[in-house]
């Protein structure tokens, strides 16, 4: 018995599986965007199943607060590139597959070129701008997209954009969520997430990829699975058989002016910036690093303040809400001298 057959013998013994089915996995090219809580377990199980080429895309580094749910990393990896560490660990897990690192940020400028290289894409991201970007790029290139999301004790999984024929496809992300206001939805760092949920949903995403590649089972296309980790109950909600939301093109990725923690501290000492806390009143009461307090949902009432030429640095817990706040200000006042604190208070405290 060859090493390949021995390694994959348990899955090849499944009804409907064979050596030919395993070859489909070995010939497949899968892209995981986001090497975090979802991307780590998805990557591990796709690696162990023998997917031939696995691309990992992430431009972030490992931080201490990642470790409770991002299981490919250890304390010794803090500060290192997530993609570099993930590829190293996954390659050790299965030396026979090809790992392709993508360390650049996925933007409207590069997303089509990157996605063109793969057969199917896993969305393991945690921000809505990238979710919509991946969705639209997959619709434009005809690639299926395996969606996963987690928050507190609830997770979601779906498969978007299965091409039935030239005129019909399964629903995409915009069919379910035509528009989302990201400032109103906290992320895992702010709202919390039970770590085991990331493993459950990430494994479900890997499962959908394996089913798609091997043409077995029934895909979560045209429906979304919602899982509750507290009750251990799940339900599947049908969305519809086909997409009714066409995608005409990509929205340009907005580059948000940012400032590092190191530079901010230097400029605070030199008194060359003003701080603006855009978190909620409850968060502000618990802890702050100074400056004035303008909650993000009240920002439009204070736009006159941002016409002053002195630089303003907006901050929140992780940098995501402050980025949205800067985007809103620049839309109203294009020449405003505003920045978002990269990584937010989490990065500030870690440094």
DSSP 305: G
Would the CATH topology of 3-238 be identical to that of 258-350?
no
Q: What is the pTM of this model?
A: 0.81
User: Which residue is catalytic, options 40, 87, 138, 316?
Assistant: 316
DSSP codes, 174-226: HHH-S---GGGS--HHHH-B-HHHHHHHHHHHHHHHHHHHHT-S---BSEEEE
CATH superfamily of 258-350: Rhodanese-like domain (3.40.250.10)
Domain edges within the chain: 3-238, 258-350
> Which residues have C-beta within 8 Å of that of residue 148, sequence separation ≥ 6?
38, 42, 122, 123, 124, 155, 156, 157, 201, 202, 204, 205
64-79: burial string, b at 16+ Cβ within 10 Å, e else: ebbeebbbbbeeebee
Q: Determine whether domain 3-238 maps to CATH 3.40.50.720.
A: yes
- Is 10 among the residues known to form the active site? no
Smallest CA-to-CA distance from 332 within 301, 310, 309 is with: 301
Half-sphere exposure of 92 (CA within 13 A, CB side): 6
SS3 111: helix
Residues in the chain: 351
Note down pLDDT in tens along the chain; length 351 residues. Answer: 466 778 999 998 899 888 899 999 999 999 999 999 999 999 999 999 999 999 999 988 888 878 999 999 999 998 788 999 999 999 999 999 999 999 998 999 999 999 999 999 999 998 888 999 999 999 999 999 999 999 999 999 999 999 998 889 999 999 998 876 655 556 665 567 899 999 999 999 999 999 999 999 999 999 999 999 999 999 999 999 999 988 888 877 777 899 999 999 999 999 999 999 998 888 899 899 999 999 988 998 999 999 999 999 999 988 878 988 998 899 899 999 999 998 889 889 887
Question: Are the beta carbons of 80 and 99 closer than 8 angstroms?
Answer: no
Catalytic residue among 40, 87, 138, 188: 188
């Amino acid at each position: 018995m060859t090493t390949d057959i021995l390694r994959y013998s348990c899955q090849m013994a499944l009804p409907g599986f064979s050596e030919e089915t395993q070859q489909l996995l070995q010939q497949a090219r899968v892209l995981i965007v986001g090497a975090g809580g979802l991307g780590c377990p998805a990557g591990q199980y796709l690696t162990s199943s023998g997917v031939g080429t696995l691309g990992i895309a992430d431009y972030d580094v490992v931080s201490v607060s990642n470790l409770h749910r991002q299981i490919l990393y250890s304390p010794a990896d803090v500060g290192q590139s997530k993609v570099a560490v993930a590829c190293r660990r996954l390659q050790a897990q299965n030396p026979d597959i090809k790992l392709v690192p993508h360390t650049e940020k996925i933007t409207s400028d590069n997303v089509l070129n990157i996605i063109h290289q793969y057969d199917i894409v896993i969305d393991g991201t945690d921000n809505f701008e990238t979710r919509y970007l991946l969705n639209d790029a997959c619709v434009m290139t005809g690639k299926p997209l395996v969606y996963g999301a987690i928050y507190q004790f609830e997770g979601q999984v779906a498969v978007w954009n299965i091409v039935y024929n030239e005129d019909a496809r399964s629903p995409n992300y915009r069919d379910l969520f035509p528009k989302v206001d990201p400032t109103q939805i906290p992320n895992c760092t702010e709202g919390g997430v039970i770590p085991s949920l990331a493993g459950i949903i990430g494994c479900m995403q890997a499962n959908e990829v394996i089913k798609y590649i091997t043409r077995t089972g029934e895909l979560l296309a045209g429906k979304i699975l919602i899982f509750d980790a507290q009750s251990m109950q799940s339900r599947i909600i049908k969305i519809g058989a086909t997409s009714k939301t066409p995608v005409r093109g990509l929205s340009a990725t907005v580059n948000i002016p940012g400032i590092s923690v190191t530079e901010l501290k230097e400029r605070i000492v030199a008194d060359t910036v003003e701080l603006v806390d855009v978190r909620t009143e409850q968060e502000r009461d618990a802890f702050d690093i100074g400056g004035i307090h303008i909650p993000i949902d009240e920002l439009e009432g204070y736009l006159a303040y941002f016409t002053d030429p002195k630089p303003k640095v907006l901050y929140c817990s992780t940098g995501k809400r402050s980025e949205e706040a800067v985007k809103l200000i620049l839309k109203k006042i294009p020449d405003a001298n505003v920045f978002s604190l990269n990584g937010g208070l989490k990065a500030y405290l870690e440094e």
